């Protein structure tokens, strides 16, 4: 009896998702681009909300508000039974890693310069790419490595780390990056076994339950407008998370990880329009490098889709 490699087993698991569309690496990359744009807008909202509410309250509404539309979609599509999972531990680990990543990142933003946090945080694609090759047995094409390190070079040029030194804030940023990389790998693993909608609902639901008790110790009563803003933020978060899971269904974690670099491009646009931040020449030059790296990634995804179609046709013969 032939034993399939772990990467082939993940691909076979993805095919078993009921009513799931055919996997398309290019579609996954494009979905992730849209998701990153929406996430960047959401980050701007979170930054504004942080001036009025404690972090735990923001994160709670970010996740709890996102559960509501997801549950409505599940009920409307008659897929309530699909919420029953055979991988509860993976869901708990995903909720823990993603929630931890948010808290550690916000702590780092409070304790050290924003540019330094971003410089550390954007090492995530390298961690994901290496871990995907070692743990998930995913094949990383040369173009993928070019996109990873090219994008990282562009981000380093943009953020221009201050060299303030390693401190507790840097420790928090490192842990936040590790949590974020871990969550992306867990999402990829679960997306190969269960419907992306189910995975997203589990994560946001478990995270909300875990954060609810903390509201008793840190809570700021919102106005009607403030409450509406928190709920809207949560709904948008649910949509963004669902898009991420859709992207991970179609493309490998390593393939779409470099698209995270486009967060910097959106940060420039949102920072200028919303907060009046004017980008420097170095930032604009770094943005050009990021665009080029993402273009390489999209070309690799298009090539992977072209290779996938003949392989699929051959398998059906």
Whether residue 21 has pLDDT greater than 70:
no
- Per residue in 63-97, pLDDT tens? 888 888 888 888 888 878 878 888 889 999 999 99
- Per residue in 214-268, pLDDT tens? 999 999 999 998 888 898 888 888 888 778 878 878 887 667 767 877 777 787 7
Domain span including residue 107: 22-309
Query: Using CA atoms in the order 259, 265, 270, 271, what is the torsion angle rounded to 10 degrees?
Result: 130
Rounded CA-CA distance 309/307 in Å is: 6
φ, ψ for residue 84 (rounded to 5)?
-70, 125
Tell me if 316 is assigned to some domain: no
Rounded CA-CA distance 122/289 in Å is: 14
Tell me if 59 is assigned to some domain: yes
Number of domains making up the chain: 1
- Per residue in 271-314, pLDDT tens? 778 777 777 777 678 778 877 876 776 677 667 655 555 545 55
Whether residue 141 has pLDDT greater than 50:
yes
* C-beta neighbour count of 168 within 10 angstroms: 11
Tell me if 317 is assigned to some domain: no
pLDDT of residue 95: 92
- Per residue in 185-220, pLDDT tens? 888 788 778 887 788 889 889 999 999 999 999 999
């Amino acid at each position: 009896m032939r034993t399939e490699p772990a990467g082939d087993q993940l691909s076979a698991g993805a095919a078993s998702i009921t009513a799931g569309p055919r996997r398309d690496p290019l579609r996954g990359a494009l979905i992730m681009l849209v998701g990153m744009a929406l996430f960047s807008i959401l980050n701007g909202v979170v930054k504004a909300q942080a001036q009025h509410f404690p972090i735990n309250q923001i994160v709670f509404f970010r996740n709890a508000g996102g559960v509501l539309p997801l549950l409505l979609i599940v009920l409307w599509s008659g897929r309530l039974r699909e919420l029953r999972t055979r991988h509860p531990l993976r869901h708990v680990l995903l909720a823990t890693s993603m929630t931890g990543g948010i808290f550690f990142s916000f702590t780092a933003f409070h304790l050290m310069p924003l540019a330094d946090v971003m410089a550390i945080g954007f090492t995530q694609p390298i961690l994901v790419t290496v871990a995907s090759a070692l743990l998930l047995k995913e094949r990383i094409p040369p173009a993928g490595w070019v996109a990873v390190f090219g994008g990282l070079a562009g981000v380093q040029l943009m953020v221009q780390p201050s060299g303030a030194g390693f401190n507790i804030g840097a420790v928090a940023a490192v842990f936040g990056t590790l949590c974020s990389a871990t969550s992306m790998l867990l999402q990829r693993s679960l997306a190969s076994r269960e419907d992306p909608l189910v995975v997203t609902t589990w994560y946001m639901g478990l995270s909300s339950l875990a954060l609810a008790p903390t509201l008793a110790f840190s809570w700021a009563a919102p106005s009607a407008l403030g409450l509406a803003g928190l709920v809207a933020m949560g709904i948008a978060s649910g949509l963004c998370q669902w898009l991420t899971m859709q992207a991970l269904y179609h493309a490998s974690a390593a393939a779409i990880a470099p698209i995270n670099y486009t967060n910097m491009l959106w940060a420039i646009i949102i920072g200028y329009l919303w907060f009046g931040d004017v980008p420097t020449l170095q930032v604009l030059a770094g943005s050009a490098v990021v665009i080029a790296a993402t273009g390489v990634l999209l070309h690799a995804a298009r090539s992977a889709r072209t290779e996938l179609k003949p392989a699929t046709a051959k398998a059906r013969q």
